[in-house]
Amino acid sequence: MPTLNLYGQQLGREITDWVKKSPPEKVTLHGHYCIVCPLSVDHAEDLYHEWQSIDDDRDWTYLSDSKPTTKEQCYQYLRELSADKEKLYFSVKDKETGSVHGFFCINKIDLHNGSFAISEINWAPPMKRTRLSTESLFLIINYFMETLKYRRCEWRTNCLNTPAISSAERIGFKQEGVLREKKVTKGHSEDIALFSITAIDWMETAEVLKAWLRKENFDERGRQIKKISDFRTQ
């Protein structure tokens, strides 16, 4: 709720106990179905085979990087990502099989204002549109919001990347606008759609996702019984 200063000017909601936030650590987070852990070069073995399970590059169209074409390139690619000092990369393991099915990045970490961004989401085919993908993002956002007490999570994606936009909206991100002509990727201009979840949003969104992720909401083949949207309307 806006407040007024001594000049009668409107200010944002007052926060009296704000302190600089702690930097995130390379934590391992356990869910019902997946484990989120720091990206390791060892994960190249699983990811290489999964990336090669389809014989084209359509899953890399909206990513800045290109798909490694050999196992050696895959190892080198993960070696470079895991050594990055500015970004944190996390892998997603299937808790049942122990196989790595994808990774994502945490960047734009702002300790003074308590914000961070999820980016470079790279799901291998077996992970797409599964409870593992949703749970992995739930685990990392909850770590920042509940454990570290951050107040804002961003998700940026190409405006033409309709699957990513649908995923962001499905989880509970709200679109804030479009950053026009923001990037040049692989020789093409990109307009970037900006989404966010705030700490206030997360209080309700987390409960919705927890309800959807309950084991009883899935049949024996792992198919959802109720959609996330069903829990929002209750």
CATH code of the domain in which 221 resides: 3.40.630.30
pLDDT at 218 over 90: yes
What gap in Å lies between CA 66 and CA 122, rounded to an integer?
11
Q: Is residue 88 part of a domain?
A: yes
What gap in Å lies between CA 100 and CA 102, rounded to an integer?
6
Give me the count of residues in the chain: 234
Mean pLDDT of the chain: 95
Q: Is residue 65 part of a domain?
A: yes
What gap in Å lies between CA 139 and CA 83, rounded to an integer?
23
Q: Is residue 115 part of a domain?
A: yes
Q: Is residue 92 part of a domain?
A: yes
For residues 18-33, give the mean pLDDT: 96
Quote the pLDDT of residue 13.
87
User: Is-contact 215 32, C-beta < 8 A?
Assistant: yes
Q: Is residue 14 part of a domain?
A: no
For residues 183-189, give the mean pLDDT: 95
Q: Is residue 109 part of a domain?
A: yes
The whole model's pTM is what?
Answer: 0.94
Q: Is residue 134 part of a domain?
A: yes
What gap in Å lies between CA 107 and CA 89, rounded to an integer?
9
What gap in Å lies between CA 89 and CA 196, rounded to an integer?
20
List Cβ neighbours of 214 (8 Å cut-off, separation of 6 or more).
Answer: none
**Tell me: the pLDDT tens digits for 97-156?**
999 999 999 999 999 999 999 999 999 988 988 999 999 999 999 999 999 999 999 999
Q: Is residue 162 part of a domain?
A: yes
Quote the pLDDT of residue 129.
84
Start-end of H helices in the chain: 44-51, 71-82, 131-142, 162-171, 199-213, 228-232
Range of the domain at 48: 27-227
What gap in Å lies between CA 147 and CA 199, rounded to an integer?
12
pLDDT at 86 over 80: yes
pLDDT cut 90: percent of the chain above it:
90
Number of domains present in the structure of the chain: 1
